[in-house]
Structure 1
Amino acid sequence: MAGLEVAFACFRGGITTPQDAVVCLLHTELIRRGFRCVGGGEQPRGDDKPSELLPSDWSSSKEVYTLRYQGNGGTPVLLVKAVTDDTSPATLLFNLVSTSTQEVMDLTVNLVEHVDAEQLQVFDRVFRDEADLVRQVHARLLSFPGGAAEPRAAEERRSRREEEEVEEERRRRRREDRDPLRLPPRHPNMQPHWWVGGNDPMVPPFSVGGADLDPFGSHGGGGMILDPLRSGFPRSGFDPSSGIPGILPPGAVPPGARFDPFGPVGRPGPDPDHLPPPGYDDMFM
């Protein structure tokens, strides 16, 4: 659990029994969820001050632990009481009371099962199953509604959701950048993701079918869309806005407008008798 090792190092001098270690773990989880410890005992005192540290006398009694916490904004106040039961197996009984809702949560921790009493000063070995103990704390003590832990958890969920949305947007953009059919390409000079090798995919014979992938000719090789006025071939000085005798009157095409010729301009049409079909003058045809 994040922060537990630091807390364990800070409070090591007060950790002399298995129940001390478990109380330290619960305190760390409450701090991580946004609570601050305001002191020991059941009643508020004049020197109460929210802190991430435990009171100096937090483990003076190995039989009963009483700590008070408050959430963001000063409310609600949580009263945590832990009582040691020395019967076999030794257990630690937790009661957590929210003063705002009067809701009571409880948890019983088997000390022998979760704490190695011979390794109390070695953080890596003191807890036998830290993950399971943290899970029980979440499920039995910190699941109450209306507490400061709820907004904290909601904020964490919202932050994770926003991070997931940002990452999904990045993945979507990467997919679009790699899509060879996307027009216009975001990176015209970037080779497609499916191209492996040192050859230029736009140079024959690798460019076969390239016009289908690049219809606008953004790579300079020409596309699949025919634009007679932008084909690159020499153009005559014909101005469609001046009209075409016998076809279009002057001004029919606005100056500068695109005009696709619908017939040979300035050239006579074909002779009707030019290249007649064989036998065209045969009366039996």
Structure 2
Amino acid sequence: MATGLFGWDLLYASVEKDIKSNQDILVCLTHLVLVSNGFKCIGLGESKNIDGSEAKSEALPKGWNEDYAIRYVFQGRLYNFKATPLDDGVMLNLIRADERTVSLLQLNAGSVAQKSGTLDEMIPDHKNVVDLIKRQLIDKVVVSKKSREMSSQTEPETTGRRLDNPLMVPSANPLRGPALPDPLGRPDILGVPSNYGRSDLDPFGGIDPLRVPNRILPPTGGGMIYQPPPLPSFPGVNPGVPPGSIPPGARFDPFRPPPDTDRFASRGPRRPDNDEFPPPGYDDMFM
């Protein structure tokens, strides 16, 4: 046959007197597919243990269609086959005993046209039925579960490295403009588009705040934190602040505008600005 499945005539001749239903024929075909793929029958039952002394055969044992519980060995491992008759078909299960993995396949009893004759006459669509048994029932338990788990773990790593696919190359962000060059040639450590908002994102200008900044280079930070004076704090430089209370290069929230923006700076830090409210009763002639 074109399917490469041989031995149906001999198998059917050995069990013809036992055939009673379409389910029997489908179980016989499943047994033939198992044997054709290297499985050997070692008897009936549902025991999960073997000792290696079991007799192996390609024939169905006597009483095979009473409970549809047949034991097979393949590559030294035990497989338990179980079939459950249904109203319109049969449910097939193949269990790999050492790993407790199970495959399941349901076949339609309507695929059996007659209970005698050649395989083509009995099951006209037997090629597709054989393919289903091979893929859905056998292949899913023959391959080790550990091998499948290892392949599933390594698959994302291999499939994720699609560097040759131009669609997988990350495209440039259209919202990112070219970074403006730093006047002193320093790299843009934050990667901010066009340096917009850099002073707010990097108030320390890339300088370690726990160390005294280098006063040779002008500071590049800023933002909403007060920019320190160009020289260490001296009396009169930070009005209203006790001398020595501000470490050199420290940034702080000022108590008043800095001297260069204070229009009354020349009057000294203790002179009022003449913009305070008058005292209570200022214009009361009886006070």
- Normalized against structure 2, the TM-score is what? 0.44
Larger Rg computed on CA atoms: 2
Q: Taking structure 1 as the reference length, what is the TM-score of the superposition?
A: 0.45
